[in-house]
Amino acid sequence: MIIKNSEYALSAVREDQFPKDDFSEIALAGRSNVGKSSLINTLLKRKNLARTSSQPGKTQTLNFYRVNDSFYLVDVPGYGYAKVSQKKRQEFGEMIQDYLETRENLKGLIILIDSRHEPTKDDIAMYEYAQYLNLPILVVATKMDKIKKSQTNKVMNNLKKNLDLSYENVDVLTFSSVSKLHVNELGDWIESHL
Ligand SMILES: Nc1nc2c(ncn2[C@@H]2O[C@H](COP(=O)(O)OP(=O)(O)OP(=O)(O)O)[C@@H](O)[C@H]2O)c(=O)[nH]1
Ligand SMILES: [Mg+2]
């Protein structure tokens, strides 16, 4: 995919705030701090379009980024961040669920998992939920620049051990926003699902 242009479009917490045009959407989900906003910036070759932070819990709304005047990338608030209050977490959960379950423009879900750790309970729950919703899924193992070459197999094995990758609509990529590993493959996956 060739990125011609990209821009922040809007932030939403409810359906009536979602974009009104009929562009396809690809959403990104994953634990807080896993690298969702960084992946968006890397893919779009923009330094600071999606706000990143070493402080987890930064993204608290569904943030829509318009790409090539033809589709949206949707940055979803990170799950599993302990310092967010129980009430806020429940609100996040409901907002994300509403979006994933009802949004017809949504064509695929990218689930980011930190390559340094085994998938968490939340990661597994998100993956199984997306399967249940019949969404095409791309599992992305992030921060691969922190992994020794010799440990690459272990990253894949950790994913295979915890996620049933035999589902027909699942692809897997290793990725790094630092080294830009597989950024082209990521763009190709998105393009083929719009
Ligand atoms: N080494 C390395 N660090 C990364 C990579 N991607 C993101 N980071 C760092 O991880 C931290 C979190 O990145 P974000 O992109 O803000 O994570 P997020 O998933 O958007 O987090 P929330 O918005 O809180 O859900 C930042 O300090 C990033 O610089 C990567 O590929 N390699
Ligand atoms: Mg973020």
Per the listing, tokens 């399967």 go with 131
The tens digit of pLDDT for each residue in 138-182 reads: 999 999 999 999 999 999 999 999 999 998 999 999 999 999 999
Q: Which ligand minimizes its atom distance to the CA of 34? A: 1
Which ligand is in closest contact with the Cα of 41?
1
Tell me, in angstroms, the distance from the centre of ligand 2 to residue 41's CA.
10
Q: Is 108 helix (H, G, I), strand (E, B) or coil?
A: strand
pLDDT at position 86, please?
A: 76
| Measured CA distances, 21 to 24, 148, 158 (Å) | 9, 44, 39
- Expressed in angstroms and rounded, the spacing between residue 30 Cα and the centre of ligand 2 is 9
> What is the per-residue pLDDT for 84?
66
Q: Closest ligand 1 atom to the C-alpha of 52?
A: 16
Chain segment 55-67, per-residue pLDDT in tens: 666 667 899 999 9
pLDDT digits (tens, 9 = 90+) for 8-23: 999 998 999 999 999 9
Output the pLDDT for position 118.
Answer: 94
**Cβ contacts of 42-50, under 8 Å, gap ≥ 24:** 42/177, 42/180, 42/183, 43/3, 43/73, 43/183, 43/186, 43/187, 43/190, 44/3, 44/6, 44/73, 45/3, 46/6, 49/6, 49/7, 49/8, 50/8, 50/75
* Residue 40 CA, closest ligand 1 atom number: 15
Name the closest-CA residue to atom 14, ligand 1.
Answer: 35
**Interatomic CA distance for residues 183 and 139, integer angstroms:** 14
> How many CB atoms are located within 10 Å of the residue 53 CB?
12
pTM flag (> 0.85): yes
| 33 CA to centre of ligand 1 in angstroms | 5
